[in-house]
Structure 1
């Protein structure tokens, strides 16, 4: 039997009592390890994190906790090669895609360590200046942000086992809030290994970081009023979480990142072969193929002027045709696997749904795989669909169905106003990217689409080499989105700390406020 990964709860490593759920290599089909949480005393684990881990973290100042993050970063930097091996085996990603996850997580952790160091010896955060409560300045109100006296529970998605952990854990730990992470079962190995390395190195106080691998059963039942919950996953699961008594009755603060039909929009001033046109083509292909399209920020809908639809379809198809798919261990392969055969079947079913209202412009699903058996490997070449010969306004599936894989749909528009309306039919997205060379039109469109996106990424020829990418989530900027995308907010620099703090107004004399 393969190795059973341990959980870390109540300050000690613990094995589940069941046989465990197997994790597989999505290319070769081999069983790698197993995870199991059966029989764990969750109440004990949550209490230990709150009481022991929370107290130890709150006793530290922001600068001290920032130094703790730096120490954790150094531990993991020394283990990067091992993390890459795990990611290739368990997620089926090529090296460049592995770097997006592993290096992205470590970069975010390091960035919060730097920002935290600048907060120095503070124990809480001031929220604005004190204000008078009367005509005289004798009695005033000062708003403060103090660390919440609970735990932060993370229920994470399968696509980013490294970044998904550290982009949440970094601001939580910096805030002084202990973390319990439940990684998605399919790719839990990398998360567990990183947590194990950090805990075994002794750079965090006991109870500051815990991990439960396997079933999430019972985790939400343990949440109390001062705890916080962050979930990344499907809208269906998010709906269950929102209705759970922990949220509905005990008012546990919740942050959700769910489905998102992100867009790329080429403005009318572009021409075939122009820099803006080429930038759109390059970015769309990158977003369709990085991590096999398994990114919550990946481009799903591409909007181009009606007159450019044919040229865009041809340019995208030609570039997608160069994508080699298969075993990520082969250096000629540019795109690896979907996370497992179940996800492979889900993507195929999603494509079938879209094909009811769109035509196939490029079908990479039939291309031969490199060093992989198509009967075993969860590999699927990129598929581009289009609505050019269909009823664009009536193609509801394009705006309603998110296919979480290397799939996108090209949609023509007649006017910029129609393009804005089509983007908004996504009902709330994490990100839309704009391409063009007219600064005024781009600025106006960015403001117009800001209400339905968490982030608007504007790409012009002058930033061709400098922009950070449509789908790359930088810790400096907000990550989240309204409506269908979950309505949550993460990152955004030190704004991320707000989720892990409680705001209170202290009303007192000037003398008392001066002592705070």
Structure 2
């Protein structure tokens, strides 16, 4: 019998009353642990988080809460090796891919700790300067931001069980809001273990951090008007969340990150043989293979000038052929598994759906897996598709295959390329490759209308750019339209979501006494 992982809610560890769901090794299929949230008293747990967790956090200053983030990062660093073992077992990732999740989480915590320390010993944030409401300035208006009094509920995706928690929790805790995280069941083990280590270290006040693993019906039913909800997942689930009475009627603030058909665009000046062309090829291959393509920011569509379509296909295929797929415990393996056999079937179904409008340019499935049984494992080799009629291949602009799959598409001119990118109906990120600064700037400005981030790669930044798919805490993460319309990170901008903006109208003496 596998171990049943406990939930942490209401300031205590407690297990569900059901049989629970098993979490599996996506390579061997072996059951690892079980999770269950049946029978948890959600109303009492949420109330405890608000009354005890948020209240205790908000009795502190930003600087004091920043110091808590430092301690959390130190605790996670201490247990880092254990997290790598869990990631390999439960997510099927090779060590470098686990680092994106685990080390990325620790880095983000550290960054928000530094930003928070700079806010000092205040309990509210100034929002602009005071403005006069009368001609003599005896009565003025000062906007400020104060922490919301509720809790922050995170419903997270399966692909980043570590970073997905802490990139949200870092600004939430710094803002003074208690966190309740519901990780995706398939990979909940790592999230649960990190919360356990932080709780055991006694860093946070009781109720400031809770974790609910497994199916937990009724989570949204227990949200109240001053709570916030952050969701990462499918557009279909996001639509259901938006229609829930807590969101639709009580105006619970919600941040949604959903589907995203991200793009890489090669500019006309980047001909085969140029450094910019090679940079696109390298980044496409990296984005297809890191975490087996299971990143919300991964490149799904590759736009190149019509004249270089064949050369780009050959160059990308050549590099993809060097990607070895299989058991991440084998040192010869460069790309591990998808998170589950169900996700493997989803990728297969996606490929079937796109087969009517694309052709296969490279199929890594022809190569044998290393140290993995194809009948059992969730290992899936990279597949490069192509469609010479980029306008007619509508399915490519509609369907996101969440795995190591991308489609190469030719364009006539830059206006056509930009229009094709916008066919994604709103995306998290697009990357541009070229060496003409003005052309790149014009393209970046055009794509900014439909993307949350535009990543521009030139030969001058070849060794220092952070990567198309890497989400840095300094930059915005989110996107318009089908990407969810949300916004996370972006430095201290992330704190906006967890604060209430208000205008205080008073005399200058009263405004001065606010201590902003």
TM-score range, shorter chain: over 0.9
Please name the residue that 2:58 is paired with.
Answer: 58
Q: Is the 8 A contact 2:27 2:92 kept in 1?
A: yes
Alignment deviations for residues 300-336 of structure 1 (CA, whole Å, 9 cap, x no partner): 0000000000000000000000100000000110000
Measure the CA separation in 2 of the matches of 1:103 and 1:242: 32
Alignment deviations for residues 467-499 of structure 1 (CA, whole Å, 9 cap, x no partner): 000000000000000001000000000000000
In the TM superposition, what is the alpha-carbon distance from 1:135 to its structure 2 partner?
1.3
Please name the residue that 1:502 is paired with.
Answer: 500
SS at match of 1:488: coil
Matches within 5 A, 1:258-273: 258-273=258-273
2:138 pairs with 1:138: yes
In the TM superposition, what is the alpha-carbon distance from 1:392 to its structure 2 partner?
2.2
Measure the CA separation in 2 of the matches of 1:394 and 1:321: 29
Measure the CA separation in 2 of the matches of 1:270 and 1:279: 10
Measure the CA separation in 2 of the matches of 1:273 and 1:166: 41
SS at match of 1:93: coil
Matches within 5 A, 1:425-504: 425-504=423-502
Please name the residue that 1:309 is paired with.
Answer: 309
Large movers: runs of 4+ above 2 Å: none
Please name the residue that 1:20 is paired with.
Answer: 20
In the TM superposition, what is the alpha-carbon distance from 1:216 to its structure 2 partner?
3.0
**Consecutive unaligned residues in structure 2, runs of 5 or more:** none
Alignment deviations for residues 122-146 of structure 1 (CA, whole Å, 9 cap, x no partner): 1110000000112120000000100
Alignment deviations for residues 391-418 of structure 1 (CA, whole Å, 9 cap, x no partner): 3211100100000000000000111110
Alignment deviations for residues 30-78 of structure 1 (CA, whole Å, 9 cap, x no partner): 0000000000000010000000011100000000000001011111101
Q: Is the 8 A contact 2:38 2:216 kept in 1?
A: no
Measure the CA separation in 2 of the matches of 1:241 and 1:172: 21
Alignment deviations for residues 212-269 of structure 1 (CA, whole Å, 9 cap, x no partner): 0011311000000000000000000000000000000110000000000000000001
Measure the CA separation in 2 of the matches of 1:216 and 1:233: 16
Measure the CA separation in 1 of the matches of 2:449 and 2:11: 44
In the TM superposition, what is the alpha-carbon distance from 1:366 to its structure 2 partner?
2.6
Q: Is the 8 A contact 2:126 2:143 kept in 1?
A: yes
Alignment deviations for residues 151-190 of structure 1 (CA, whole Å, 9 cap, x no partner): 0000000000000000000000000000000000000000
Alignment deviations for residues 324-359 of structure 1 (CA, whole Å, 9 cap, x no partner): 000000011000000101000000000111111010
Count of residues paired in the alignment? 514
Measure the CA separation in 2 of the matches of 1:392 and 1:58: 53
In the TM superposition, what is the alpha-carbon distance from 1:110 to its structure 2 partner?
0.6
Please name the residue that 1:166 is paired with.
Answer: 166
Measure the CA separation in 2 of the matches of 1:144 and 1:351: 50
In the TM superposition, what is the alpha-carbon distance from 1:514 to its structure 2 partner?
1.2
SS at match of 1:456: strand
Please name the residue that 1:357 is paired with.
Answer: 357
Please name the residue that 1:293 is paired with.
Answer: 293
In the TM superposition, what is the alpha-carbon distance from 1:367 to its structure 2 partner?
1.6
TM-score, normalised on structure 2?
0.99
In the TM superposition, what is the alpha-carbon distance from 1:365 to its structure 2 partner?
2.0
SS at match of 1:472: coil
Measure the CA separation in 2 of the matches of 1:330 and 1:184: 27
**Consecutive unaligned residues in structure 1, runs of 5 or more:** none
SS at match of 2:286: helix
SS at match of 2:478: strand
In the TM superposition, what is the alpha-carbon distance from 1:457 to its structure 2 partner?
0.1
Please name the residue that 1:399 is paired with.
Answer: 397
| Range that drifts further, 377-386 or 363-372 | 363-372
Measure the CA separation in 2 of the matches of 1:291 and 1:513: 51
SS at match of 2:203: coil
Measure the CA separation in 2 of the matches of 1:66 and 1:93: 31
Measure the CA separation in 1 of the matches of 2:194 and 2:157: 16
Measure the CA separation in 2 of the matches of 1:451 and 1:392: 21
